[in-house]
Chain A
Amino acid sequence: HIAEDTSDLLQHVKFQSSNFENILTWDSGPDSASDVVYSVEYKRYGEREWLAKEGCQRITWKSCNLTTETGNLTELYYARVTALSAGGQSATKMTDRFSSLQHTTIKPPDVTCIPKVRSIQMIVHPTSTPVRAGDGHRLTLEDVFPDLFYRLELQVNHTYQMHLGGKQRDYEFIGLTPDTEFLGTIMIFVPTWSKESAPYVCRVKTLPDRTWT
């Protein structure tokens, strides 16, 4: 019996994780028929039994949210997808070993940029994650990563930038020219895990100085 090559049914089975939202994604092959259905299973590394993911059985779309099922930060996980074509062909593929701590990427922070006459205040809002503590409350990125810090930059002109940074959430760039536009960028850094977010960017104009008018 010659094993049938069904690799074109299913490819690139992997986790995509961002701020601990863990999504399993996959692709069908280049000339795969459109009548294929997919079923997802997952398990913890070290356990024997695969568990079927409810809501992702015999689906036609190519992603499945496994955030809740893979939410324990001290655990490592595997997931696998089985593709089944109407013609009876099937293929099963597994992910690499997945650890959300190691693999998750960090989204840009949520920031409020407040222009004043000679300064710009920047307030970084905590980023909630789907990860829950023992008592059930949701952890923020700062809870999960104790060494997390923010780096802020204000582009004053083509050659001059101002920099601030630290673990606190409230920053203010001072000594600015009134009624002038500035570009602010704010990023999150997690040194221990070598993680760095894309920048949050805000373009703000300082207020006109009306003291002598």
Chain B
Amino acid sequence: GQEFQFGPCRVEGVALQELWEAFRAMKDIVQAKDNITSVRLLRKEVLQNVSDTESCYLLRALLKFYLNTVFKNYLDKAADSRIRKSFSTLANNFFVIASKLQPSQEKEMFSISESARRRFLLFQRAFKQLDIQAAQTKAFGEVDILLTWMERFYQ
């Protein structure tokens, strides 16, 4: 696996290529189900110009949301076996990465964590404005945007 440095948070053993392969295996199926082409959840305001220190807070919030809200309910609907296999690869890896992200909770980091929280809320608000199933499908179809962003922190 590779090593990533999300600001103060170092994450080793990330098999990014495995994540990409898992995503590519189901990308066309999932993205074809998302016909709301005028809405992008992980848009520029969420991911662009994120400072290194902020990245640990933001990624942790996003991965936990994916695990608790997107992946959690998606599996029962993911009848297609190609999706199920990709699904568990992504979910397992997201769980491992999220557990290794331990951002500092000290007072002087408050403004940075707050900035990360505002970015996350932009994403969450856009998610909640959609019907839950459409939102889950869209979020699942945007994993490539998240992986592309994560690569920036590859060491």
Contacts and interface: CB of A to CB of B under 8 A. Distances in A.
Interface stretch (B3-11, B35-43, B78-86, B113-121): B35-43
B17 interface: yes
Contacts of B32: 96
A152 to B, nearest CB: 23
B39 A46 contact: yes
Contacts of A96: 28, 31-32
Please tell me the size bucket of the interface on B.
Answer: 20 to 34
Interface of A: 43, 45-48, 74, 76, 78, 94, 96-97, 99, 101-102, 191-194
A47 B17 CA distance: 29
Given A46-B40, A47-B38, A194-B21, A99 B144 contact: yes
B148 interface: yes
Contacts of B28: 96
Nearest to B16: A192
Query: In terms of DSSP, what is the predominant structure of the interface of chain A?
Result: loop
Contacts of A94: 37
Contacts of B39: 46
A45 B138 CA distance: 11
Nearest to B48: A74
B21 A48 contact: no
B37 A194 contact: no
